[in-house]
Amino acid sequence: MSTVELLQVETDMLNMDFSKKLVIETDLMPWQSSPAQGVERKPLAREDKESGHATSVVRYLPGSSFKRHEHPYGEEILVLEGIFSDETGDYPAGTYFRNPPGSAHAPFSKEGCVLFVKLCQFQKGDQKQFQIDTSSQTWLPGQGGLEVMPLHEHIHEHTALVKWPSKERFQPHTHFGGEEVFVISGEFQDEHGKYPAGTWLRSPHLSSHHPYVEEETIIWVKTGHLFLE
């Protein structure tokens, strides 16, 4: 491999060291073009430029579309704004998707939309395909004053929306298998800092913190999936 090729490989890989904590305020990032005209993205972590493990915020401008494609290792989507569509229907903000390995679709957006997207990160044996309109689901009581909306679980992996009431303080805890958080509304906080809406946090296996909020806050959270090889 030449020096130029090596530098290209290093450039394409982004934030793939799962032993390090990451905090990214996505609203401060510029949009980047994608292979599809009118579809833009903010890459947060990726294994390669156009393939493999990837986490990103994606924006479809009104009338834009992406060609039909397969998900060789699965796709997970949370619609943040607007209406996301494919040949199976229209999905408004708040819709949570899981498209397993081997699935395919041709997505588009008539009015435009913004998505939180995770590619090629399904656990072995996870073949569930579904869509949940979280706006029509019921919040369940969680620990302390929290309310929880479970979205998916597989072996040790758990994904949910969590609503924090104003002034809620949770107990200090350790993340077995790591934790990812995307702040949907409000401002999430812990002893390390403040994280406004649009912030993505990735905390490694056996990390710990003492989270709290001052205002009502809703987060998307995934735990138990960041074990080091």
> Residue 5: is its pLDDT beyond 60?
no
Pairing of strands 22-25, 173-175: unpaired
Domain 31-132: what homologous superfamily?
Answer: Jelly Rolls (2.60.120.10)
The segment(s) of the chain belonging to CATH 2.60.120.10 are 31-132, 137-223
Tell whether the torsion through CA atoms of 105, 111, 221 and 158 is positive or negative.
negative
> Could you tell me if 191 and 207 are in contact, meaning their C-beta atoms sit under 8 angstroms apart?
no
- DSSP secondary structure string for all residues of 81-112: EEEEEETTEEEETTEEEEE-TTEEE--EESS-
The per-residue pLDDT for 3 is 31
Average pLDDT, the chain: 92
Domain 137-223 homologous superfamily, CATH: Jelly Rolls (2.60.120.10)
pLDDT digits (tens, 9 = 90+) for 36-79: 999 999 999 998 877 789 999 999 999 999 989 888 899 999 99
> Which strands, in side-by-side order, build the sheet including 217-223?
22-25, 199-203, 179-185, 217-223, 157-164, 147-154, 140-141
